[in-house]
Amino acid sequence: MAHRDGSARCGELRLRTGLVETPLFMPVATRGFVRYVPSELVADLGFQVLLSNTYHLMLRPGADIIAQMGGLARFTGFRGASLTDSGGFQIMSLGAKITPEGAHFRNVYDGSWVTLTPEDAMTTQERIGADIAMALDVCTQLPSPREVLEDNLVLTGQWAERSRAAHRDETQQLFGIVQGGVDPELRGRSTEMITRIGFDGYAIGGLAVGESRESTLEAIRSVVAGLPEEQPRYLMGVGDPYLLAHATSLGVDMFDCVAPTRIARHGTALTDEGPLRVKGRANRGLDEPLELKCDCRVCQRVSRGLLHHLAHVDTESAGTLLSLHNLAFQFRLITRLREAIRGNSMQELLADIDRVWGGPVMRGGDHAD
């Protein structure tokens, strides 16, 4: 890692398509596209890695079609790197039946039964061809009884081993996923199992699903304590500025979340003074940008008065503009974190983030959009 401030680190990650800077945030392109935002604009904002969902892409259009078209980069047209999740989170949220063999669920598009084994998740992700693939894991709803968390973390360990063994493409990185709910001891055990197998990077899954912030951070601490220093650490599904900044201070390098674009489509802008509802009366007829200091295309040209108007009469157009600004906000947050690490001023930045974002957690839910 190029620089450290306490446990926070910034540096570069080498992927087969090139180097990317960390800490990094990945916008979510569930079906190969960030909703409402052309991929060219996502890249222009500075994002270097896009996340897509294996579960959705394997059902439609299918991994074979993406492979025939030259892989995910050609398919999405995104100028940058890519990561595909394994489908573990969607499997849980759609109520799949889990057996030791794999997950069995109904195809959301046509109702047919689909089985996804750890081996299938590997061949599918290799065919889709992202720079980073994820091992298939077993997510657990929180809160859950300890026995359930324990069973699921053991199965996650077995599936991680099978994923590792089935993964063939050495140029594609494979990350393992640590589970274990918010119990520090279970998180520690899962970390030991997953790191013993050995992966190119390690993800922390199954957090920020409704538990308290303190529990989320405690669970992250117990995982990071057992992870190797040299490899990237990825906190899945977290984009809340408070959690993102604090996780970075604990030594996490990568994040993804649907929240910035999802709340944009519901009329909320992210600003350095907190969330802002553009529908609010205060914005009516107001000839001011969302944020004076934001250099995004929206803040350069569009007034709060127009956004307020569109939020009432044309929610899609308002959603497009707000999505673009919110992604710019998220990139600015990451940039501030990188600069604070390089300037050894993480503590000052955290104090500022706590002041603005210490309220309710901004949730991403299923990191599919």
Long-range contacts of 112-121 (CB under 8 A, 24+ apart): 114/59, 116/55, 116/58, 116/87, 116/91, 117/162, 118/159, 118/160, 118/162, 118/163, 118/166, 119/162, 119/163, 119/166, 121/54, 121/86, 121/87, 121/163
Question: Min. distance of Cβ 43 from Zn ion in angstroms?
Answer: 17
Question: Min. distance of Cβ 288 from Zn ion in angstroms?
Answer: 12
Beta carbon nearer to Zn ion, 186 or 264: 264
Beta carbon nearer to Zn ion, 134 or 328: 328
Name the residues annotated as catalytic: 85, 256
Question: Min. distance of Cβ 271 from Zn ion in angstroms?
Answer: 8
Beta carbon nearer to Zn ion, 172 or 326: 326
Question: Min. distance of Cβ 314 from Zn ion in angstroms?
Answer: 19
Distance in angstroms (rounded) separating the CA atoms of residues 198 and 193: 9
Q: Using CB under 5 A as the criterion, which residues of the chain lie in contact with Zn ion when the complex forms?
A: 294, 296, 298-299, 325, 328
Radius of gyration of the chain (CA): 20
Beta carbon nearer to Zn ion, 196 or 301: 301
